[in-house]
Structure 1
Amino acid sequence: MNSSNNASMKQTTLGPSGIECSAIGLGTWAMGGWMWGGGDNAAAVLAIQASLDAGVNLIDTAPAYGLGRSESIVGTALKGRRHEAVVATKCGLVWHTQQGTHFFEEDGHPVHRYLGRESIVHECEESLKRLQTDYIDLYITHWQDSTTPVEETMDALLELKKQGKIRAIGVSNVSPETLAEYLRHGPVDAAQERYSLIDREIEQALVPLCSEHDVAVLGYSSLALGLLAGPIDPGRKFTGDDQRASNPRFSAQNRAKLKAFFDELEPLRKQLECSFGQLMIAWTLARGSVSVALCGARVSKQAVENAAAGSVRLRDDALQLIDAIAAKHLNALA
């Protein structure tokens, strides 16, 4: 498979904003190192540049990914190439204030969910500095804040848009009710939610609501933290603060179920001449629930492999086969 063939990359539009981007996006959570057992900045910069070269122009980051580290890496990688990228970053997970509700600790800092007006303005300025840019293409509320009215949050975002600091507004980790509340106060261009072959809850209520209001759906964790990238060696250990070390989905029992799933999928993979990871990303796009499949990568090889999934086309019979094999082996994982 020709992984450098940009022409085969499917394109999509981010809702009413009209911003065009690749249907595969690069997720940079792991590049921040936090919850992924550390990171390598130089390798991450090369991975972002390799993504652009391979036709992936949507780069998704957030301040919380390594307390600014991931955004700074994106800023470094895009020097001289900012015009080639559609940059998505986020607000609402803060460590500069104790307002809102405590969410978690990161590197000794208490991180709060907070989407108050002044905080969003402050966060936006900090992100612009780290990203070394004067505008953000898509600005997303990372997690929702029960202490701030949605109207106040949306007003702040609309003001930033008016100032040209952001081009489009997104929300993440929302209930259909919260999304409906945002929509009452202005246009929402994108909703970013977890979505993969084993995480399909949003198909029920959120995706129909997004379709009705022309909200693009960005699916994160398309490979379920790497679970769907291919068989995992039974002896592989996840170390340090790597979240997979304590995630029950990565248990020995589940690895055996996954092996059976991939074994049965092997003839289709061979026929399509792609990797298992590419097959799963192609499934995510072909299902029609999401406009963009966000895929994490920390090194160029992963980034280029993920990008090549954009040229894997699945017919209906292949989709049905994947669903049937998944139902047989993976239901208990979800």
Structure 2
Amino acid sequence: MKYTRLGSSELVVSEIAFGGMSLQKDTATKLLQKAFDEGITLFDTADIYDQGENERLMGEALKDHRKEIVLATKVGNQERADGKGWDWNPTKGYILTSVEKSLKRLQTDYLDLYQLHGGTMDDPMDETIEAFELLKEQGKIRAYGISSIRPNVIEQYVNRSNIASVMMQYNLLDRRPEETCLELLHQHGISVLARGSVAKGLLAGKPADTYLNYTAEEVRAAAEAVQALSTNERNPAATAIRYALYPPAVAAAVVGVRTAEQLQDALRAGDASLGAEEYAELGAVLAANNYQEHRISAS
């Protein structure tokens, strides 16, 4: 397992991160412990996952390793009073209230990485940033970032805040970040946390289906290219994950783990590598897609 610094923060993270969104109560502790034992140190969750139960599972399973891990969660989605859905709330007051609940569920007195779970151009961004900066001053968080696929929102945070990271979807079937975001973030020393690296399993053995602007036939071609470059040591899932890890801006791939098999694929990726020629070969299979909305105005 390789490790790298997250942006300009003091955090050092494993390049394979454990994405906890789909954790199940009966297997969570075993999977999280195995991940830790194998060298994964970045564990990601969110207050919205299973109405906070996901944070509770992760906090209980990892409490004995608290000082040895990088614990990340997210904020910004407020559950409605009737429990039927969520509303977007990036206000300072909501963030300062929510962090206390996440800390309690995660059984810790600080978060390593606190991330805004989305973002729009209509948000009170200065207020949002002020909340994160205050939490840093109070020692309740060590660093903060955003989880967003919107280039115009990302640009605003690059220019107006001290974010350490941006979590965004990036894979062979979603190369939109390559147009502007990856280079922009790399130039400013902000790390990317790549999610969705196996494209819902379409790059790792699931039957071909449409994905974003690609037809099922195009998805099949991409999956076959991944398969062709895979080996006994680097299976298709690991190859797809390594593709997402290749750009220098990407510090870690946040791999969703629900089963032991998925964890093993993630660990295989951590032990593998992907060469420049292989990365280029995969990228040549399909024309890269671009964002159609939320574009940076100067691009």
TM-score normalised according to structure 1 size: 0.79
Identity %: 33
Q: Is the 8 A contact 1:176 1:209 kept in 2?
A: no
Check the 8 A contact 2:31/2:259 in 1, yes or no. Answer: yes
Displacement of 1:307 in angstroms is 1.8
Aligned residue for 1:222, secondary structure, equals coil
Q: Shift in Å at residue 258 of structure 1?
A: 4.6
Correspondence for 2:13 among 21, 28, 35: 21
Which residue in the other structure is 1:46 paired with?
A: 30
Taking a change above 3 Å as real, the CA distance of residues 185 and 53 of structure 1, as seen in their structure-2 partners, is same
Matching residue within 180, 189, 192 for 2:155: 180
Matching of residue 198 in structure 1 with residue 198 in structure 2: no
Contact 2:186 2:249 in 1 (8 A): no
> 2:91 aligned with 1:116, yes or no?
yes
Write the distance in 2 (CA, Å) between the matches of 1:323 and 1:203. Answer: 11
1:60-75 correspondence runs (5 A): 60-75=44-59
The equivalent of 1:327 in structure 2 is 286
The amino acid that maps onto 2:257 is A
C-alpha root-mean-square deviation of aligned residues, in Å? 2.6
Q: Any conservation in 2 of the 1:169–1:189 contact (CA below 8 Å)?
A: yes
Shift of the 248–261 alpha-carbon distance from structure 1 to 2, 3 Å rule, reads closer
Paired with 1:182 and 1:275, the residues of 2 have a C-alpha distance of: 36
Which residue in 2 is equivalent to 1:304?
Answer: 264
Partner SS, residue 167 of structure 1: strand
Contact 2:226/2:239 (<8 A) preserved: no
- 1:109 Cα deviation from its structure 2 partner: 2.2
Query: Residues of 1 paired with 2:269 and 2:119: CA distance?
Result: 32
- Give the TM-score normalised by the residue count of structure 2: 0.87
Contact 1:144 1:174 in 2 (8 A): no
Contact 1:115–1:153 at 8 Å: present in 2 too? yes
In the alignment, structure 2 segments of 5+ residues that lack a partner are 290-299
Retained in 2: the 8 A contact 1:203–1:289? Answer: no
Match of 2:72 among 85, 88, 91: 88
CA distance in 1, matches of 2:72, 2:100: 14
Query: CA 1:141/1:163 → structure 2, altered by over 3 Å: closer, same or farther?
Result: same
Q: Are 1:10 and 2:5 matched, yes or no?
A: no
1:268 equivalenced with 2:252 (yes/no): no
Equivalent in 126, 138, 145 of residue 151 of structure 1: 126
Q: Please list the CA deviations of residues 212-248 of structure 1 after superposition, one character each: whole Å capped at 9, or x if unmatched.
A: 221111111111122222243x8xxxxxxxxxxxx85
- 1:277 lines up with 2:237 in the alignment: yes
Deviation at 1:54, TM superposition (A): 1.4
Name 1:35's counterpart in structure 2.
Answer: none
Q: Is the 8 A contact 1:44 1:299 kept in 2?
A: no
Residue identity in the other structure for 2:12: E
Question: Partners of 1:115 and 1:231 in 2: how far apart?
Answer: 36
Aligned to 1:162: 137
Q: Which structure is higher in RCO with an 8 Å CA cutoff and minimum separation 6?
A: 1
CA deviations on 1:260-289 (whole Å, 9 max, x unpaired) are 54445444313x632110011111112434
Which residue matches 1:228?
203
Alpha-carbon deviations, 1:179-203, whole Å to 9, x = none? 3333444311001111111111111
Query: C-alpha distance in 2, partners of 1:212/1:46?
Result: 39
Q: 1:265 to 1:167 in 2, by over 3 A?
A: closer
2:294 matched residue in structure 1: none
The total of aligned residue pairs comes to 288
Partner residue, 1:318: 278
1:215 aligns with 2:215: no
Where does residue 135 of structure 1 map in the other structure? 110
Q: Displacement of 1:50 after TM fit?
A: 1.3
Q: Secondary structure at the match of 1:30?
A: coil
More helix, by proportion: 1
Q: Distance in 2 between matches of 1:88 and 1:127?
A: 10
Q: 1:56 to 1:187 in 2, by over 3 A?
A: same
- Mean CA deviation greater in 191-200 or 307-316: 307-316
CA distance in 2, matches of 1:189, 1:57: 17
Query: Which residues of structure 1 form unaligned runs of 5+?
Result: 1-8, 32-39, 98-106, 235-246
* Matching residue of 1:37: none
In structure 2, give the amino acid aligned to 1:269. Answer: S
